[in-house]
């Protein structure tokens, strides 16, 4: 074996927790403690105790007392997972004057007593796990957390309701925010909706005051029609480079009067805001309440940009605000934290070809239907067929289109049931048509949601439980001519049904943004295989990410409704504000460092770091690691052929020692190590 505790100066205290009966029910904790006291004496263990609840204040005091009275220099606690109580025992050591990083917590609960049934084997394994910890702790070094100052400004990416909420919370607390939005106006998907469930508040009525507040807030720099190009740096000090696309409108001169939009001769189908149902001009604001009020010129459709003549907007602009020569601007600024509120895309129901979207005129997506019902939409709020005049007499609403379907997305899109119920209510209220809802399961779990479901049922909406097989215009039975026929297995009645309707609405799934993976890479956060951003902890830390200083809110993290998006927006802001108030953040000192004397300048490590923490000094021919950028994964440590890179808290010595410790006991078999 390699040299451990060479001068035998370390005095190690071992503490084995019963955790009530959680551990002691399976593991003979007294035996483990006695064994450690006897067998690990020569490894430096001077004290080994077992105690009912090590994490209790009495348990912690036991450790503190021993550190002071017995002069312990290292502590090993065998208890639960370090993800639960590592901080507890480190703090106890700290209080007794021992550097917190000289404490090691090994798990004999999650990894032993809870997963094994054989008491003897579990006790033996606990000894092995403990001895691994003892060997490892000998090689621990006293460390100090890295302290990083926090820049007071925050970047919020995405101007939907989640991003607006987040920006307002921070701005109202008195700190600067850059709110960046890709589209010409903030507002996001919510601005396209008509009513919001379950209260049927008008979406615009509740959203636009927030938009106006964000647009005029002295602490918010609103950057619409802009995209983040580059993010460098780390928590507390990110450098953000942003492309502000040319609006061809001088914001300082524009009054938002709208004459340019009136005079522009070019009509364009509005694929984004009107979901392809309505038109806008080549110079436009997406909707009347847009914030900011300045229009943009859509160069791809503008007659002047395409053919070289027109300039009607320039001619009629009363303030001379049109500037065809404007170019994209690049802005660079510093922020301390970043909130990503990039939202979702709607699933393209063309992919479910049997539902006929794109082929059958009167099959609509949920977003199209929102625009149909919106008083500011293309039909002034009249629910009519694609011909623009006919009011439907029967409407079928299909749930789970592209969600809960192994061909597309396994997950539930959360909002579709409630959204479909809202549609049913609106159809009922405005047209008196018969409404069918085709559902797999009704999911109305939230405050006042189920009451809304009851209400819609009482209004007479018909519910058919079953996944729709097909929507077709091929009539087979009398009464089906000229209708769309929904073929479905009614699983409650236990029979196949053909239901003729005039209009079909597909409650399409929420999907991650098509570029969500690129955006994740840009900001250095992780993404699930689907493309949803991954939170630090699914329950206890749902808005932070594994990358310090980057938070995720709203649908970028997963499908959710408006109240949850708003709650997350506010939650992330609370986290950001907490950091700004403290002014600095303590980071785990798990970092890689290069010994310049050992580095041969081979540059093998140079391309391994996704955080660009590795710098090569051409002049000195050695590599250096920026400790602030380093996230501590240790990949470069493992790659260095010269052993010049060491990983703090996870050094080769520590891991080798732990391997040796773990293998000291081999189920009583006397294995001889022939190497090492």
Partner 1 sequence: MTENFEPVIIGFTCNWCSYRAADLAGTARVKYPPNVRLIRLMCSGRLDPTFVIKALANGADAVMITGCHPGECHYIEQNYKALRRYLLLRRTLAQMGIEPERVKLVWASAAEGVRLGQEITKLVEEIRQLGPLQWPRLLAGDGHPAEIELAVEEVAA
Assess 587 for contact with partner 1 (CB under 8 A): no
- From CA 223, how far away is CA 424, in angstroms rounded? 38
C-beta closer to partner 1: residue 234 or 453: 234
Q: C-beta of 672: minimal distance to partner 1 in Å?
A: 7
Assess 612 for contact with partner 1 (CB under 8 A): no
Q: C-beta of 109: minimal distance to partner 1 in Å?
A: 6
Q: C-beta of 144: minimal distance to partner 1 in Å?
A: 18
Assess 128 for contact with partner 1 (CB under 8 A): yes
Distances (CA, A) of 352 to 63, 357, 385, 506: 63, 8, 21, 10
Assess 125 for contact with partner 1 (CB under 8 A): yes
Assess 660 for contact with partner 1 (CB under 8 A): yes
Assess 615 for contact with partner 1 (CB under 8 A): no
Helices (H), 139-276: 161-172, 203-216, 259-263
* Residue in 45, 38, 24 with CA at minimum distance from that of residue 126: 24
Q: C-beta of 656: minimal distance to partner 1 in Å?
A: 6
Assess 673 for contact with partner 1 (CB under 8 A): yes
Assess 656 for contact with partner 1 (CB under 8 A): yes
C-beta closer to partner 1: residue 100 or 378: 100
Assess 652 for contact with partner 1 (CB under 8 A): yes
Using CB under 8 A, pick the residue from 34, 111, 326, 487 that binds partner 1: 111
Assess 650 for contact with partner 1 (CB under 8 A): yes
Using CB under 8 A, pick the residue from 190, 422, 632, 646 that binds partner 1: 632
Question: For residue 639, how many other CB atoms are within 10 A of its CB?
Answer: 15
Assess 313 for contact with partner 1 (CB under 8 A): no
- From CA 269, how far away is CA 135, in angstroms rounded? 70
Assess 115 for contact with partner 1 (CB under 8 A): yes
Assess 658 for contact with partner 1 (CB under 8 A): yes
Q: C-beta of 620: minimal distance to partner 1 in Å?
A: 26
- From CA 272, how far away is CA 313, in angstroms rounded? 22
Is the separation of the CB atoms in 112 and 27 below 8 Å? Answer: yes
Q: C-beta of 225: minimal distance to partner 1 in Å?
A: 29
C-beta closer to partner 1: residue 79 or 296: 79
DSSP state of 262: H
Beta strands in 144-192 (DSSP E): 146-149, 154-157, 177-180
With H, G, I as helix, E, B as strand and everything else as coil, classify residue 100: helix
- From CA 210, how far away is CA 195, in angstroms rounded? 16
C-beta closer to partner 1: residue 63 or 637: 637
End-to-end CA distance of the chain: 6
> 170-176 contacts: CB < 8 A, separation 24 or more?
170/219, 170/573, 170/576, 170/577, 171/214, 171/217, 171/218, 171/219, 171/220, 172/217, 172/219, 173/573, 173/577, 174/219, 175/219, 175/577, 175/580, 176/152, 176/219, 176/220, 176/221
Assess 631 for contact with partner 1 (CB under 8 A): yes
Assess 82 for contact with partner 1 (CB under 8 A): yes
Q: C-beta of 117: minimal distance to partner 1 in Å?
A: 6
- From CA 305, how far away is CA 246, in angstroms rounded? 13
Assess 534 for contact with partner 1 (CB under 8 A): yes
Assess 514 for contact with partner 1 (CB under 8 A): no
Tokens 């090569």 map to which residue? Answer: 616
Give 299-365 as a DSSP string.
Answer: TTT-HHHHHS---HHHHH-TT--B-TT---EEEEEEESEEEE---EEE--GGGSGGG-BTTBTTEEE
Q: C-beta of 547: minimal distance to partner 1 in Å?
A: 9
Q: C-beta of 118: minimal distance to partner 1 in Å?
A: 6
Using CB under 8 A, pick the residue from 32, 63, 112, 204 that binds partner 1: 112
Assess 56 for contact with partner 1 (CB under 8 A): no
Q: Counting every residue, how long is the chain?
A: 676
For 453-470, b where at least 16 C-beta lie within 10 A, e where not — what string? beebeeeebebbbbbbee
Using CB under 8 A, pick the residue from 498, 633, 642, 653 that binds partner 1: 633
Assess 675 for contact with partner 1 (CB under 8 A): yes
Using CB under 8 A, pick the residue from 300, 389, 529, 540 that binds partner 1: 529
Assess 663 for contact with partner 1 (CB under 8 A): yes
- From CA 24, how far away is CA 111, in angstroms rounded? 14
C-beta closer to partner 1: residue 101 or 193: 101
Assess 593 for contact with partner 1 (CB under 8 A): no
Using CB under 8 A, pick the residue from 611, 615, 624, 629 that binds partner 1: 611
Using CB under 8 A, pick the residue from 100, 163, 512, 634 that binds partner 1: 634
Assess 542 for contact with partner 1 (CB under 8 A): no
Assess 676 for contact with partner 1 (CB under 8 A): yes
Using CB under 8 A, pick the residue from 129, 312, 416, 427 that binds partner 1: 129
With H, G, I as helix, E, B as strand and everything else as coil, classify residue 505: strand
- From CA 651, how far away is CA 306, in angstroms rounded? 62
Using CB under 8 A, pick the residue from 319, 411, 637, 653 that binds partner 1: 637
The one segment of 374-382, 443-451, 593-601, 649-657 that binds partner 1 by CB under 8 A = 649-657
Query: Residue 616: exposed, middle, or buried by beta-carbon count in 10 A (0-12, 13-18, 19+)?
Result: middle
Q: C-beta of 392: minimal distance to partner 1 in Å?
A: 44
Maximum alpha-carbon separation in the chain: 96
20: tokens are 């009530």
Residues that bind partner 1 (CB under 8 A): 81-83, 107, 109-112, 114-118, 121-122, 124-125, 128-129, 132, 521, 524, 526-529, 534, 538, 546, 590, 608, 610-611, 631-635, 637-639, 647, 650, 652, 655-656, 658-660, 662-663, 666-667, 669, 671-676
């Amino acid at each position: 074996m390699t040299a451990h505790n060479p001068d035998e100066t370390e005095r190690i205290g071992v503490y084995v927790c019963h955790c009530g009966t959680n551990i002691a029910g399976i593991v003979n904790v007294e035996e483990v403690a006695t064994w450690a006291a006897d067998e690990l004496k020569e490894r430096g263990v001077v004290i080994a105790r077992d105690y009912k609840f090590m994490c209790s204040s009495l348990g912690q005091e036991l450790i503190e007392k021993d550190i002071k009275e017995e002069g312990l220099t290292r502590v090993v606690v065998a208890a639960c997972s370090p993800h639960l109580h590592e901080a507890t025992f480190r703090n106890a050591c700290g209080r007794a004057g021992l550097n917190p990083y000289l404490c090691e917590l090994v798990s004999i609960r999650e990894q032993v007593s809870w997963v094994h049934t054989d008491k003897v084997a579990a006790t033996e394994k606990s000894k092995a796990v403990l001895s691994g910890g003892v060997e490892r702790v000998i090689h621990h070094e006293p460390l100090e957390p890295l302290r990083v100052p926090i820049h007071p400004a925050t970047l919020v990416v995405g101007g939907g309701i989640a991003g607006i909420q987040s920006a307002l919370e921070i701005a109202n607390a008195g700190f600067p925010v850059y709110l960046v939005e890709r589209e010409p106006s903030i507002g996001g998907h919510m601005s396209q909706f008509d009513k919001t469930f379950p209260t049927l508040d008008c979406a615009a009525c509740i959203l636009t005051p927030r938009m106006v507040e964000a647009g005029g807030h002295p602490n918010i720099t609103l950057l619409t029609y802009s995209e983040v190009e580059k993010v460098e740096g780390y928590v507390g000090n990110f450098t953000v480079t942003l492309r502000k696309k040319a609006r061809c409108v001088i914001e300082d001169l524009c009054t938002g009067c709208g004459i340019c939009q009136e005079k522009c001769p070019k009509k364009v189908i509005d694929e984004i805001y009107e979901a392809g149902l309505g038109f806008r001009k080549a110079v436009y604001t997406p909707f009347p309440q847009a914030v900011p009020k300045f229009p943009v010129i859509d160069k791809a459709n503008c007659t002047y940009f395409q053919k070289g003549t027109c300039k009607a907007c320039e001619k009629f602009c009363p303030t001379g605000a049109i500037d065809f020569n404007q170019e994209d601007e690049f802005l660079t600024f510093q922020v301390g934290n970043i909130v990503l509120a990039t939202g979702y895309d709607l699933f393209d129901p063309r992919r479910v070809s049997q539902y006929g979207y794109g082929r059958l005129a009167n099959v609509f997506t949920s977003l199209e239907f929102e625009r149909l019902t919106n008083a500011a939409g293309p039909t002034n709020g009249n629910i009519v067929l694609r011909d623009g005049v006919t009011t439907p007499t029967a409407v079928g609403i299909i749930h789970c289109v592209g969600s809960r379907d192994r061909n597309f997305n396994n997950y539930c899109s959360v909002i579709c049931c409630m959204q479909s119920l809202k549609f049913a209510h609106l159809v009922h209220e405005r047209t008196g048509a018969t409404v069918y809802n085709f559902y797999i399961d009704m999911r109305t779990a939230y405050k006042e949601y189920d009451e809304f479901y009851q209400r819609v049922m009482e209004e007479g909406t018909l519910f058919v439980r079953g996944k729709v097989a097909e929507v077709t215009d091929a009539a087979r039975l009398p009464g089906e001519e000229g209708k769309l026929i929904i073929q479905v297995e009614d699983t409650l009645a236990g029979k196949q049904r053909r239901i003729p309707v005039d209009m079909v609405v597909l409650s399409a799934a929420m999907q991650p943004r098509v570029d969500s993976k690129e955006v994740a890479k840009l900001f250095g956060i992780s993404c699930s295989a689907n493309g949803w951003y991954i939170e630090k902890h699914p329950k206890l830390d749902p808005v932070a990410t594994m990358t310090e200083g980057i938070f995720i809110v709203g649908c970028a993290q997963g499908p959710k409704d408006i109240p949850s998006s708003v709650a997350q927006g506010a939650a992330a802001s609370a986290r950001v504000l907490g950091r700004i108030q403290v002014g600095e953040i303590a980071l785990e000192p798990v970092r890689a460092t290069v010994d310049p004397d050992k580095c041969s300048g081979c540059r093998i490590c140079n391309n391994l770091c996704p955080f660009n923490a590795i710098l090569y000094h051409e002049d000195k021919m050695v590599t250096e690691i920026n400790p602030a950028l380093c996230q501590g994964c240790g990949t470069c440590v493992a790659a260095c052929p010269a052993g010049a890179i060491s990983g703090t808290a996870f050094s080769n010595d520590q891991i080798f020692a732990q391997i040796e410790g773990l293998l000291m006991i081999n189920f009583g078999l006397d294995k001889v190590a022939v190497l090492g």
